[in-house]
């Protein structure tokens, strides 16, 4: 099943050294864009940050943006705790959303 609602998401690279927090109104499309590295100058392309490790759905974009700002203000340790709370193995969640 294709997942299209608003969402806050966290991406990481393969060795988990970089975290990226974003918000979108179409999670599948946006993660596909990150995975395809369409803009070679973007942060996520330069650091190969393309593994979806966490996402939270929202009905309203305003709520998603508020949550994104909250998470971005956290320490790295707190972000890792959020990821590992639902995804201890840091497995890629792409197939879960792209179905």
Which domains are assigned to the chain?
A: 6-98 (3.40.1440.10)
Beta bridge partners of 23: 8
- pLDDT tens-digit series, residues 32-89: 999 999 899 999 999 999 999 999 999 999 999 999 999 999 999 999 999 999 999 9
Beta carbons of 34 and 44 less than 8 angstroms apart: yes
How would residue 1 be classed by pLDDT, with cut points 50, 70 and 90? very low
Task: For residue 49, give Cα distances in angstroms to 13, 19, 44, 54, 70.
Answer: 4, 7, 5, 13, 21
pTM of the model: 0.94
Query: Binning pLDDT at 50, 70 and 90, where does residue 3 land?
Result: low
Given a contact cutoff of 8 angstroms between Cβ atoms, the answer to whether 23 and 68 are in contact is yes
User: Does residue 4 carry a pLDDT above 70?
Assistant: no
């Amino acid at each position: 099943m294709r997942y299209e609602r608003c969402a806050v998401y966290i991406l990481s690279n393969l060795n988990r050294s970089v975290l990226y927090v974003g918000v979108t109104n179409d999670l599948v499309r946006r993660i596909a864009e990150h995975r395809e590295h369409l803009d070679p100058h973007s942060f996520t392309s330069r650091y190969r940050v393309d593994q979806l490790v966490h996402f939270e759905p929202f009905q309203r974009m305003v709520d998603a943006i508020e949550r994104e700002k909250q998470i971005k203000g956290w320490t790295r340790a707190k972000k890792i705790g959020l990821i590992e709370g639902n995804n201890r193995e840091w497995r890629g969640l792409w197939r879960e959303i792209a179905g």
